[in-house]
A and B are shown apart, each in its own frame.
Chain A
């Protein structure tokens, strides 16, 4: 038999040859093409969830940014003049709240941000901390004190806030103390608001993360802190961060 004959024999016999496979084969093919590899699916789901999460976090930070403290004594007077008219209606008689807030405070989180800074700045001063207080804070402190000293009526109201303002009497004593009281009072009050809002954003983020990340230490987790929504911890594998207060 020549090579050619052999080749032709095999070619011819196999040309239309068919063999029936087991019935289970199609099921396996079907499964693979319509439900891709679990790892792959989970991976792409993870990355799209992570991307959405970053957007949400970005938004949360964007809207929670502490606002630059603006108002100086000079400007403040004319504006506080307006506010003085408004506040007596809102506050309990005789009690005035000194709150370091810019006159134009449309959103509740702005006061939160400011009081954050106020409290922060105050603490740093009290502790004699050498840390550099952000310039905004220093400026703010300098503003507030002159305001206090000069005009007991210097009030900056929060006209847009619906809740009743727990007013605090301004002691004539220690300016620091007054500042502390004011700051804390304002803080607790607006914290309630900001906390409410924080529960919205941070809680939302926590919920989304919980769906995707089932680890003990999630990729990012928010908590309710004294100063509003804070990041409790971040876990990116290589980089891990945990808040002190956790």
Chain B
């Protein structure tokens, strides 16, 4: 069941299709820009949360991502999904920030193993919020690859080019990420797992 948290709808009481805000944004109309932000900030924040190591970093990514969207808005040529285009910019700027921080932080490539609290509800009860925690626990290299491949749908070739790693590294990092996540979910599920998942 998807979790929808209330958004700040202060400026735009009723959701409108974001395509209708496109023209205003191209003109630099502040109301349109604000409207677009409030319509999409929830979803885009969720995207950034997957890529960031914590909430603060996620908000930085969100801010930079939206600034880029508004600066590049003229480049969007009404082909394809407007939200998809925005999402790609968001992911790209998240990756950029990740790579930038990579240079300043030393990345230790070990699994972060936490004691996962055993919960009694089954996997269908695993909310996005729980999965988000699991993803954020992954070390950053695994997290990037998992996000890009599984959620964003990049190919290993594209991941390799974007992150500056080899395709082989992308594949092995993906399989490692999957293994860790499975293990953690299993621990969370406890005994119920075997009966619910085929």
Please provide the 6 A-B residue pairs with the shortest distance between their CB atoms, ordered closest to farther: A18-B42, A16-B2, A17-B128, A13-B128, A19-B45, A17-B46
Task: Give me 10 other A-B pairs in contact (C-beta within 8 A), A21-B62, A22-B59 excluded.
Answer: A1-B193, A9-B185, A13-B126, A15-B2, A17-B132, A18-B3, A20-B7, A23-B8, A30-B33, A32-B63
Q: Does A26 contact B (CB under 8 A)?
A: yes
Q: Given contacts A3-B178, A6-B178, are A20 and B151 in contact (CB under 8 A)?
A: no
**Complex interface residues of chain B between 173 and 198 (CB less than 8 A to chain A):** 178, 181-182, 185-186, 193, 197-198
How long is the Cα–Cα vector from A33 to B74 in the complex, in angstroms?
14
Q: Mark B53-97, 1 if CB is under 8 A from A, else 0.
A: 000001100110011001100000000000000000000000000
Query: What residues of chain B lie closer than 8 Å to A3, measured between beta carbons?
Result: 178
Query: What residues of chain A lie closer than 8 Å to B107, measured between beta carbons?
Result: none
Q: B197: which of A5, A7, A19 is its contact (CB, 8 Å)?
A: A5
Whole-angstrom distance from the CB of A221 to the nearest CB of chain B? 39
How long is the Cα–Cα vector from A6 to B193 in the complex, in angstroms?
13
Q: Given contacts A1-B185, A10-B150, A14-B50, are A20 and B45 in contact (CB under 8 A)?
A: yes
Q: Does B127 contact A (CB under 8 A)?
A: yes
Query: What residues of chain B lie closer than 8 Å to A17, measured between beta carbons?
Result: 2-3, 43, 46, 128, 132
How long is the Cα–Cα vector from A21 to B66 in the complex, in angstroms?
13
How long is the Cα–Cα vector from A153 to B192 in the complex, in angstroms?
124
Q: Does A39 contact B (CB under 8 A)?
A: no
Most buried by B among A28, A32, A33: A33
Q: A11: which of B34, B150, B185 is its contact (CB, 8 Å)?
A: B150
* Chain B interfacial residues counted at CB < 8 A: 45
Interface residues of B (CB under 8 A from A): 2-8, 28, 30, 33-34, 37-38, 41-43, 45-46, 49-50, 58-59, 62-63, 66-67, 70-71, 123, 126-128, 131-132, 135, 150-151, 178, 181-182, 185-186, 193, 197-198
Whole-angstrom distance from the CB of B28 to the nearest CB of chain A? 8
A33 lies within 8 A of B150 (CB): no
Say whether chain A's binding surface is mostly helix, strand, loop, or mixed: helix
Query: What residues of chain B lie closer than 8 Å to A34, measured between beta carbons?
Result: 30
A16 lies within 8 A of B4 (CB): yes
A13 lies within 8 A of B127 (CB): yes
Q: A28: which of B63, B127, B131, B198 is its contact (CB, 8 Å)?
A: B63
Most buried by B among A3, A11, A15, A21: A21
Q: Does A25 contact B (CB under 8 A)?
A: yes
How long is the Cα–Cα vector from A19 to B7 in the complex, in angstroms?
8
Total number of A-B contacts with CB less than 8 angstroms? 99
B34 lies within 8 A of A21 (CB): no
Give the bracket for the number of chain A residues in contact with chain B: 20 to 34
Most buried by A among B6, B62, B123: B62
Q: Given contacts A13-B128, A20-B6, are A29 and B37 in contact (CB under 8 A)?
A: yes
A–B Cβ pairs within 8 angstroms, 12 of them: A5-B197, A6-B185, A9-B131, A10-B135, A11-B151, A13-B2, A14-B131, A17-B132, A20-B7, A21-B45, A21-B62, A33-B33
B5 lies within 8 A of A18 (CB): yes
Q: Given contacts A6-B178, A19-B5, A19-B45, are A33 and B71 in contact (CB under 8 A)?
A: yes
Query: What residues of chain B lie closer than 8 Å to A26, measured between beta carbons?
Result: 34, 37-38, 41
**Complex interface residues of chain A between 56 and 94 (CB less than 8 A to chain B):** none
Whole-angstrom distance from the CB of A33 to the nearest CB of chain B? 5
Query: What residues of chain B lie closer than 8 Å to A19, measured between beta carbons?
Result: 5, 42, 45-46, 49, 58
A33 lies within 8 A of B67 (CB): yes
B46 lies within 8 A of A18 (CB): yes
How long is the Cα–Cα vector from A11 to B70 in the complex, in angstroms?
28
Whole-angstrom distance from the CB of B65 to the nearest CB of chain A? 9
Whole-angstrom distance from the CB of B130 to the nearest CB of chain A? 9
How long is the Cα–Cα vector from A229 to B8 in the complex, in angstroms?
63
